[in-house]
Amino acid sequence: MFLLWDSSSSLGSGEFTGIKELDDMNQEIAQLQREKYTLEQDIRDMEEAIRQKSGEVQEMQNDMDRETTSLQELEAQKQDAQDRLEEMEQQKHKLEDMLNEVRLKCQEESQLISTLQSQINSQESHLQSQEEELSQAKTDLDRLHQEERQLEQSLAAGKTQLETIISSLKSTQEEITQARSKLSQIQDSQQEVSKGIEQYNSTFNGTDGGSMTNLADMGEGFNDREGGGFSAAGKRKQFPPSEFYDSLFEIQGYQLLVAKGTTVHCLQADRHYRDISTPGGLLFPS
């Protein structure tokens, strides 16, 4: 006798049981998730409550600190008030002692006043003369005050004049400095011109005068325009005739007339000129 096993029915029953267990597990998971969410919400609520309580505790601590500080200040004020009260008590005793002394002195002064009153009555005539002297002294004092004001005014005027003189001296000093600077520049220029003259003189001594350009016509033209003369150091002077010079050169703002012989005539840019007896002579602008 054989027992037949229905595999299909067993499989279907197992699948049903597995599905049911799976559903139960899903429900359990959903329940656990809901519980987790609830617990997380509870945790957040508790954390918020803790933060609020912490804030309240901190605020209460701050209030306590402020109250403690206020209490300490009140204690300090109380101590200061107590110290001032004791000091005022001491001053009160001192003032009472001083008052007693003043009363005693008042009695003594009253006696002295009586004595002085009798003396005053006997000295009225003398006081009259003293009043006259006082009036005279007041007049003298007013006069001295007037003299003092006049002296102060004179002092102020003298101070102003002194400041003006000082300012003038400063201006004069600046002018002297500028003049010295200008003189130094002129001396430097003179040295440069003297060196140039020496250089050109050396060149002229070794060069034929006929090879240079003759500027007699230019000199005669200058004579016609200037009325026949040139100024040198505030004095009119005739331009040298053409037969006395050979050529003209310009050095450092000066026009040099190369003379025949040893004399060099210096014609400045403004057509003023001076004679230079030696090539190394100093040139001064007119």
CA 137 to chain centre: 53
Would you put residue 258 in left (φ > 0), alpha (ψ -120 to 50) or beta? Answer: beta
pLDDT greater than 50 at residue 143: yes
Is residue 230 classed as helix, strand or coil in its secondary structure?
A: strand
CA 232 to chain centre: 53
Query: How many C-beta atoms surround the C-beta of residue 204 within 10 A?
Result: 20
Strands annotated E in the chain: 230-232, 235-237, 245-251, 254-259, 264-268, 273-276
Give the pLDDT score at 206. Answer: 56
What is the rounded CA–CA span in Å between residue 283 and residue 38?
117
Which amino acid does the sequence have at 237?
K
What is the rounded CA–CA span in Å between residue 25 and residue 90?
94
Least confident span in 190-194, 202-206, 272-276? 272-276
| Residue 125 pLDDT grade (very low, low, confident, very high; cuts 50, 70, 90) | confident
Quick one: average pLDDT of 196-209?
68
Place of tokens 């010295």: 180
CA max distance for the chain: 180
What is the rounded CA–CA span in Å between residue 91 and residue 83?
12
Query: How many C-beta atoms surround the C-beta of residue 48 within 10 A?
Result: 10
Q: What are phi and psi for residue 154, nearest 5 degrees?
A: -65, -40
Quick one: average pLDDT of 89-114?
89
Place of tokens 């804030």: 55
pTM above the 0.75 mark?
A: no
* Better pLDDT: 60 or 233: 60
What is the rounded CA–CA span in Å between residue 51 and residue 129?
99
User: Apex CA 70: angle with CA 76 and CA 53, to 5°?
Assistant: 150
Rg (CA), the chain: 63
What is the rounded CA–CA span in Å between residue 92 and residue 106?
20
Which amino acid does the sequence have at 111?
Q
Q: What are phi and psi for residue 270, nearest 5 degrees?
A: -90, 15
Is residue 195 classed as helix, strand or coil in its secondary structure?
A: helix
Give the pLDDT score at 140. Answer: 92
**Per-residue pLDDT tens over the stretch 49-78:** 898 888 888 989 998 898 899 999 999 998
**Per-residue pLDDT tens over the stretch 165-198:** 888 888 888 888 998 898 888 888 888 888 888 8
DSSP string covering 236-285: EEPPPPGGGEEEEEEETTEEEEEESSS-EEEEETTS-EEEESSTT-----
